Amino acid sequence: MKSTKATALANSNTALIKYWGKQDEKLILPMTNSISLTVDSLSTTTTVEFSEKYQEDHFFLNDEKQTGTAENRVIEHLNLLRSKAKMNLKAKVMSRNNFPTAAGLASSASGFAALTVASCKALDLKLNQKELSMLSRRGSGSSARSIFGGFVEWIKADEASESYAKQLANKDHFDMRDIVVIFKQQKREFSTREAMKISKETSPMFKARLDVVETSLDKMRKAIEQRDFTLLGQTAEADCNLVHSIALTSKPKLSFWIDETVKIINLIKDFRKGGIAAYYTVDTGSNMHILTLPQFAAEIEMILNRIPYIVKTVVCKPGDGAKIIDNHLF
Ligand code: DP6
C-alpha cells in the first residue's frame, strides 16, 4: 500500500509590526510588510500521512476530530500542496499544541507552518525556506513568518511568487522575552480573517496606518539591528494601538481589548516608571504579550502571578523556525 508520513514542529510568532489587511484574499497577499518574533514556548507538532488507506482527509487537533471551518482550511491547504506535488492521496493530519487550545492563543501561525513543513516532506517536495513560507502563507498569512526562527519580516508583493518571509536576525541576535498573559476567555464574535476584511472595508483609520507603516517598519528593523529595546517596544506598542484603533472604528465595531487588557497596560506603564523595561502588544484574542528584557522577566512574572484575573503566563524566548522531527504523533 502506498503511504508516506512526516512530522514537523513549528513555533508561534508574535507580531511586532502587524499584518492587518489583505490585497488578495485568496492568495493571501498582505497590504503591508510585517515583522515578528518567533517564540520558543508555544508550538504545534503535526504528523501528516498520505496513504491509499484513507478514503478522505481527516484532521485531529489535540485528539479531537475537527469539522467545519477548521477542517476545511486544512483540506484546502492539503489540496494546494497535493497539486504542487502532483499527487492525490488522501491524508490523516494529527496536530498537537503544547498550550491549551481553550486558552484561545493564536494557533494558526504555528499550525499552518507545521502542516506545510510536514506535508512537503511527506510529499517529497524539496523546497527551501523561502518557498515553504510562500506555501504556508496560503494557509494562514502569519504562518509564513513561523517558517523562520528569530526576527522575521514578511514581504508584501502584488505577485503570489514574490510574497514570502525572510529572517532579519537569528534567535541569538537579541535576547528578549515575550511574556504571554492569558485571561479568562471571551467568546469571539469574528475570526481574525473576518475582522481584517471588515476593517479594511469600513474603517477610516485603515488608510491612516498605511501612511505611517513604512516608517514603523524602518524603526523596527533599526531597533532589531541595533538591539535597541526601547525603540522596539515603543514601535510595537504604537503599531498595536493603530491596529486596534482601526478595529474600533470599523463597522461593526471590533473590540478586542477587555477591562483586564487596560489594567495590564496601566501596570506596564507603572513598570516603566519604576525602571522596568516592558511594552505591550495585543492580537485579536483577549490575551496579550508583554515584551521585556531577560533581567526583568522573573519579577514581572511574579507580579502577574499574584493577579487573580490572569489565568496563566508563559515566558517565551526567541525561538527556532519550523523543522522536521522524528517523533510521529501516530
Ligand atoms: C493580528 O495570519 O491569522 O495576529 O491570513 O487570514 O489566516 P489569515 O490571518 P492570520 O492573521 C494574524 C493577524 C495578527 C497580526 C499578525 O500576526 O501579524
Assess contact for 142 and 28: CB atoms under 8 A: no
Q: Are residues 187 and 129 in the same domain?
A: no
Residues 251 and 166 in one domain: no
Would you say residue 325 lies in a domain?
no
Q: What per-residue confidence (pLDDT) applies to 1?
A: 79
Across residues 232-256, what is the average pLDDT? Answer: 97
Residue of 122, 124, 103, 102 lying closest to 114 (CA atoms):
122
Pocket (CB within 6 angstroms of ligand 1): 15, 18-19, 28, 34, 106, 108, 140-142, 192-193, 196, 283-284
Is 196 in the same domain as 266? yes
Spatial separation of the C-alpha atoms in residues 260 and 57, rounded to whole Å? 40
Q: What does the pLDDT average to over 21-41?
A: 97
Q: Is residue 328 part of a domain?
A: no
Give the separation between CA 168 and CA 148, rounded to whole angstroms: 10
| 250 and 295 belong to one structural domain | yes
Same domain, 155 and 221: no
Percent of the chain with pLDDT over 70: 98
Instruction: Give the distance (Å) from ligand 1 centre to CA of residue 91.
Output: 26
Would you place residue 106 in the very low, low, confident or very high pLDDT band (cuts 50, 70, 90)? low
In a domain, 129, yes or no: yes
185 and 72 within one domain: no
Q: How confident is the model at residue 99 (pLDDT cuts 50, 70, 90)?
A: confident
pLDDT above 80 (res 118): yes
Strands 151-154 and 91-97 turn out to be unpaired
Residues 147, 98: Cα–Cα separation, whole Å = 18
Reported as a pLDDT band with limits 50, 70 and 90, residue 122 is: very high
Which of residues 118, 148, 172 is at a domain's end? 172
> Is there a domain that residue 330 lies in?
no
Confidence of residue 107 (pLDDT cuts 50, 70, 90): confident
Q: Within this chain, do residues 62 and 168 fall inside the same structural domain, yes or no?
A: yes
Residue 321 lies in a domain: no
Are 93 and 215 in the same domain?
no
Asked if 257 contacts 241 with a C-beta cutoff of 8 angstroms, the reply is no
Stated pTM of the model: 0.97
Here the cell at position 330 is: 501516530
Over range 290-307, report the average pLDDT: 98
Q: Which three cell numbers stand for residue 122?
A: 511527506
Domain count, the chain: 2
Domain boundary among 172, 196, 229: 172
Kindly report, residue by residue over 145-201, the tens digit of the pLDDT: 999 999 999 999 999 999 999 999 999 999 999 999 999 877 778 889 999 999 999
Q: Does residue 74 form part of some domain?
A: yes
Question: Is 60 exceeded by the pLDDT of residue 37?
Answer: yes
pLDDT for position 159: 96
For the chain, what percent of residues have pLDDT higher than 90?
A: 92
The answer to whether position 323 is within a domain reads no
- Work out the number of other CB atoms within 10 angstroms of the CB of residue 202: 15
**Tell me, what's the pLDDT at 104?**
59
Q: Which residues pair with 201 in a beta bridge?
A: none
Asked if the model's pLDDT at residue 63 lies above 70, the reply is yes
For residue 81, the domain's CATH number is: 3.30.230.10
One domain, residues 181 and 154? no
Ligand 1 centroid, distance to 23 Cα (angstroms): 14
pLDDT band at 3 (very low <50, low <70, confident <90, very high): confident
Q: What is the CATH number of the domain that holds 258?
A: 3.30.70.890
Across 108-124, average pLDDT: 97
- pLDDT-based confidence at residue 285 (cuts at 50, 70, 90): confident
Domain span including residue 262: 177-316
Rounded Cα distance between 293 and 314, Å, is 15
Q: How far away, in angstroms, is 90 Cα from ligand 1 center?
A: 28
- C-alpha to C-alpha distance for 137 and 79, rounded to whole angstroms: 14
Same domain, 87 and 159: yes
Which residue, judged by its Cα, is nearest atom 4 of ligand 1?
Answer: 283
Q: Judge whether 324 lies within some domain.
A: no
Index of the ligand 1 atom closest to the CA of residue 17 = 18
The answer on 42 and 105 residing in a single domain is yes
Are both 233 and 285 inside the same structural domain? yes
Alpha carbon of 302 to ligand 1 centroid (Å): 30
Spatial separation of the C-alpha atoms in residues 11 and 210, rounded to whole Å: 28
DSSP 78-99: HHHHHHHHT----EEEEEEESS
pLDDT at 127: 97
Q: In the listed set 140, 172, 204, which residue is the last one of a domain according to the structure?
A: 172
Other Cβ atoms less than 10 A from the Cβ of 228: the count is 15
Cell matching residue 123: 510529499
User: What's the rounded Cα separation, in Å, for the pair 202 and 47?
Assistant: 40
57 pLDDT more than 70? yes
